[in-house]
């Protein structure tokens, strides 16, 4: 009994210590870990298979759901956030702080020097290369069914993939660099409406990735705007 209890405590502490991007509507981390029964229902209903279940060896807590946005972001393909509807315990909830939009985190420009738009550069080819397995909902092709990212090449005079594919209108924009309004260069600016879905991180063609999702307390709005 003692071993079982210690194992559970270890899983809890490992998961808490290594903060990961949780599915939409996740409670604050402590409450989420307490409420989640690791049933995997959220994984089963995710239409793009973005949600994973943690492994104890990864330090994520055995069976605790999380996402890796760089590999596969949540693009809200299901619209009604099916993972929340499937959660039997309320660990994922539409009612957090009575917000109209559930939040997962907030996008931050993690590597400004890597951003192509800030360099005034475009992008030609697929966003992540021909072998990338991720999918994305391209509304102009199919409103509901996500398509292969590797099957969509681009020829952009100025890279705007983070803005172009953001599923939340107005959550991210490209704006002139401060003090250099006449330049063709632009910088991503994140608005308060960002929900941290991770599409910008997934679609960024730069290596290292220029923009990343910062995990925040669920329901807490980011302070101001983030260039």
Give the tens place of pLDDT for each residue, 35-78: 999 999 999 999 999 999 998 655 556 799 999 999 999 988 88
**Range scoring the smallest mean pLDDT among 86-95, 131-140, 215-224:** 215-224
Read off the pTM: 0.84
Q: Are 90 and 42 in contact (CB under 8 A)?
A: no
Give the tokens for residue 65.
């759901």
Span 125-154, average pLDDT = 94
Q: Which residue has the higher pLDDT, 204 or 16?
A: 204
Q: What single DSSP character describes residue 176?
A: E
Q: Which residue has the higher pLDDT, 190 or 223?
A: 190
Span 8-14, average pLDDT = 47
Looking at residue 1, its pLDDT comes to 45
Q: Is 80 exposed, middle or buried (0-12, 13-18, 19+ CB in 10 A)?
A: exposed
Span 162-176, average pLDDT = 95
Q: Which residue has the higher pLDDT, 225 or 195?
A: 195
Q: Is 152 exposed, middle or buried (0-12, 13-18, 19+ CB in 10 A)?
A: middle
Report how far apart, in Å, the C-alpha atoms of 147 and of each of 74, 135, 152, 208 are: 13, 5, 9, 24
**Range scoring the smallest mean pLDDT among 5-9, 125-129, 200-204:** 5-9
> Rounded to whole angstroms, how far apart are CA atoms 95 and 102?
8
Q: Which residues of 173-206 are buried (b: 16+ CB within 10 A; e: fewer)?
A: bbeebeeeeeeebbbbbbbebbbbbbbbbbbbbb
- Residue carrying the six token digits 């966003």: 127
**Range scoring the smallest mean pLDDT among 6-10, 16-20, 188-192:** 6-10
Looking at residue 19, its pLDDT comes to 74
Which of 213, 219, 227 lies closest to 106 in space, CA to CA?
Answer: 213
User: Is 100's pLDDT higher than 60?
Assistant: no
């Amino acid at each position: 009994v003692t071993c079982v209890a210690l194992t559970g405590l270890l899983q809890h502490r490992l998961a808490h210590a290594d903060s990961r991007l949780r599915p939409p509507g996740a409670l604050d981390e402590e409450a989420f870990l307490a409420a989640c029964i690791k049933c995997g229902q959220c994984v089963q209903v995710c239409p793009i298979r973005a949600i994973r279940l943690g492994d104890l060896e990864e330090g994520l807590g055995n069976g605790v759901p999380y996402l890796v946005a760089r590999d596969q972001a949540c693009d809200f393909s299901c619209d009604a956030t099916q993972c929340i509807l499937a959660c039997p315990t309320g660990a994922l909830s539409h009612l957090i702080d009575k917000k109209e939009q559930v939040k997962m985190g907030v996008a931050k420009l993690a590597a400004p020097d890597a951003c192509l738009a800030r360099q005034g550069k475009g992008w030609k080819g697929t966003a992540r290369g021909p072998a990338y397995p991720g999918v994305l909902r391209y509304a102009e092709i199919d409103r509901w069914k996500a398509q292969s990212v590797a099957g969509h090449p681009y020829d952009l005079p100025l890279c705007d993939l983070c803005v172009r594919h953001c599923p939340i209108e107005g959550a991210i924009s490209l704006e002139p660099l401060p003090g250099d309004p006449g330049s063709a260069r632009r910088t991503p600016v994140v608005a308060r409406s960002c929900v941290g879905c991770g599409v910008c991180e997934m679609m960024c063609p730069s290596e290292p990735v220029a923009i990343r999702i910062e995990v925040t307390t669920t329901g807490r709005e980011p302070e101001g705007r983030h260039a």
